[in-house]
Structure 1
């Protein structure tokens, strides 16, 4: 595909596009005549995912390697997009890590263990069997928050070259401020007029320091349940979404909670399919011109950040 052949078509980048929700986002965008750059850290899996989409009739899907936690990898992707397309219309930051490890007894089929449990009970079961370490928390922040930031910064000039650039950050209801234990932290993250990206970076470091020193609750972070780093990473992503929307009003920049979906990150314990979760993300990425920006979508509805 040359620039001339794609100049009138929308170009999208999807991070973490080789499986789960990301792969389904690639499929749905391609079905709507969008040229998709499917990115993944694992070249073998990324290439296989793109080939599978080609075999399904979606020929305008291109694989490119991307490690979201590496700014040089994001810069390499930006150079590829610039040379091949000259612009970017849609960036979907989907790649993520849960920041925990589930200890699952593999001697009993998981479907038998979860039989008869509703979605809430399945989630509680998963939480009870999960542990998280400082190293996992650090990785979670590096991939979820800093990875989103690195990729966005690298591709921002190309989004600005679009006549209608869209940025969708895949977030979670776990990133809502209600999960924070301190009012001061909630107020600061919700004060988008004064919040800065530099402060978000600093807050990520403060969280990890407090995690290491056992001071999460005393300093206002999520502290009473599991997935602590995941919650903070998604709250930081939401803050980043709001700051970027304020700073770049010509773009449509939003966060989306796709729902508790059945993917390998949660051992398929979710209540929605990857197809259903991806549908919300794709819907937001293709909203009509002049649609909302700087908002949080709970599935396909605008909802509060708190």
Structure 2
């Protein structure tokens, strides 16, 4: 049975991603900063008829927590087939470039960028044991620098000094990681789940968590001939599904 670790998976898109991977026959480690909330989420999925799920406590911004999670997972499995870096934060709702507090910007980057790097580096050894390892970095369409400089883009006015730059940086890291793993079976991609109604945006998005998670799962299930080093976004590029960086 293939295995998957999803960070920030006790609710919203991460939780639905776990459900859909369970439906595809995966054993899912449901990463949660709060173990109690993670256990409650796992209990709910088990009650729905998906026994192959268990919580894993992990705070992606805490190196000791990440190390402990890696040790715990290593006691459970020698192979990790899929890593989905889903945990992320928005930061303040207003993020002007000239006045946003540096502390807030750093906090967003700690989760959205450095957390992803820290988790990926910690679990890469288990991923290397998989014959078809997949890394999916959950990004945002707002991470496209090309589109942010295009006045005709529908989200052109949605600017921010923390969240958008953090996702652009995550996209850049995805490219570097994919390049480093280019001669291996790894597929490393960034996925924009779309503007989805979740707690993250006070349920302002028009998309459903089911559709959002399906986009993430699609990248996790890529076959050996599937693409790597791509920025998937049905929202930014409905015809091709590939967003400009």
TM-score (norm 2): 0.88
State the distance in 2 between where 1:281 and 1:178 align.
22
Structure 1 partner of 2:153: none
| 1:64-103 aligned within 5 A | 64-101=56-93
Return the offset for 1:289.
Answer: 1.7
Evaluate the alpha carbon distance shift between residue 302 and residue 243 of structure 1 in structure 2; reply closer, same or farther with a 3 A threshold. farther
| 1:103-118 aligned within 5 A | none
Return the offset for 1:254.
Answer: 0.2
Q: Is the 8 A contact 1:98 1:227 kept in 2?
A: no
| Alignment partner of 1:52 out of 26, 44, 53 | 44
1:254 aligns with 2:185: no
Q: Is the 8 A contact 2:147 2:244 kept in 1?
A: no
Return the offset for 1:180.
Answer: 6.0
State the distance in 2 between where 1:287 and 1:26 align.
16
| 1:1-306 aligned within 5 A | 9-101=1-93, 133-178=101-146, 226-249=159-182, 250=184, 251-299=186-234, 301-306=240-245
SS at match of 1:64: strand
State the distance in 2 between where 1:247 and 1:167 align.
13
Return the offset for 1:135.
Answer: 2.5
State the distance in 2 between where 1:55 and 1:225 align.
40
State the distance in 2 between where 1:247 and 1:134 align.
31
Structure 1 stretches of 4+ moved >4 Å? none
Q: Which has the higher helix share?
A: 1
Return the offset for 1:257.
Answer: 0.4
Return the offset for 1:225.
Answer: 5.2
SS at match of 1:17: coil
Q: Is the 8 A contact 1:99 1:227 kept in 2?
A: no
State the distance in 2 between where 1:305 and 1:80 align.
38
Return the offset for 1:78.
Answer: 1.6
Return the offset for 1:302.
Answer: 4.1
Return the offset for 1:177.
Answer: 1.2
Q: Is the 8 A contact 1:68 1:147 kept in 2?
A: yes
Q: Structure 2: give runs of 5+ residues left out of the alignment.
A: 150-156
SS at match of 2:83: strand
State the distance in 1 between where 2:160 and 2:87 align.
17
Q: Pairwise CA RMSD of aligned residues?
A: 2.0
TM-score (norm 1): 0.71
Q: Is the 8 A contact 1:100 1:133 kept in 2?
A: no
State the distance in 2 between where 1:82 and 1:43 align.
18
Return the offset for 1:76.
Answer: 1.6
Q: Is the 8 A contact 2:142 2:148 kept in 1?
A: no
State the distance in 1 between where 2:117 and 2:85 align.
9
